[in-house]
Structure 1
């Protein structure tokens, strides 16, 4: 499993565009520099939710959706602190990562939940909608990039990883339902 986190853009001399997203191996959430047990509980959400596929790229927004649209985050973790720590670890070569400068539309789509439909306004004054199908297309493309990278060798999640917490025994999943 891989976590896709959107974050505040930063400049990097290795990239021509600002980096606004980072993909890391799920195990990076168990890095000792990530706040614990919060990182471990996010790791469990990422890896234990029913129906995940090995090698899948899961955006943080999907976890938010699965935690009742974010209402259950306080019972699980301070996701902002964990994401900040994971991005810091990745930027300082404490793990393998795929830093990316996602185009605005891709960032909007993967930043929204899996059922969100977005109204897109174009420079020529026209509008269109993009939603779950387009979001999944972007995630499939990112998963392909990760698989090609991982084919050269496994993603290194960092050293001295901690064990995920055993409590709570069952995490409070409740996929968001509008209305």
Structure 2
């Protein structure tokens, strides 16, 4: 769902992409202007020790992360702390863009997420679109465009679409 964000960042950075699906990863690399700009890591982030090893390998290959875009689903509460712990070993300033669903209480997440002082923590709140008095979920393209905009604007909270009125949620 964040393929366009990965491709956008690959124009400026060496990008490490973590995914579970080998076919989708291969498709992403084919779409890149320079296939060497993307370093793939196939791993399920819920397998914590394997995930930690992959993060260490990515940092060894490409250096510490400058920007992390993380869309972590429930049940993997240690994923962001693992990234933060491994990346913080270098005491290098970096930005973490944490993508969160429309029903997420952003203040509760801030209290739960543990990131080091060297990280600028940013939240991207995914909402929905209201058109012609009806609502729909965001498309992959709208999500990617919104994440790219959030990276440029670099605000503590960025909402893509709208999250209100709640009763209009699809």
Q: TM-score scaled by structure 2?
A: 0.29
Higher strand share: 2
The structure, 1 or 2, with the larger RCO (C-alpha pairs under 8 Å, 6+ apart) is 1
Q: State the TM-score, normalizing by the size of structure 1.
A: 0.28
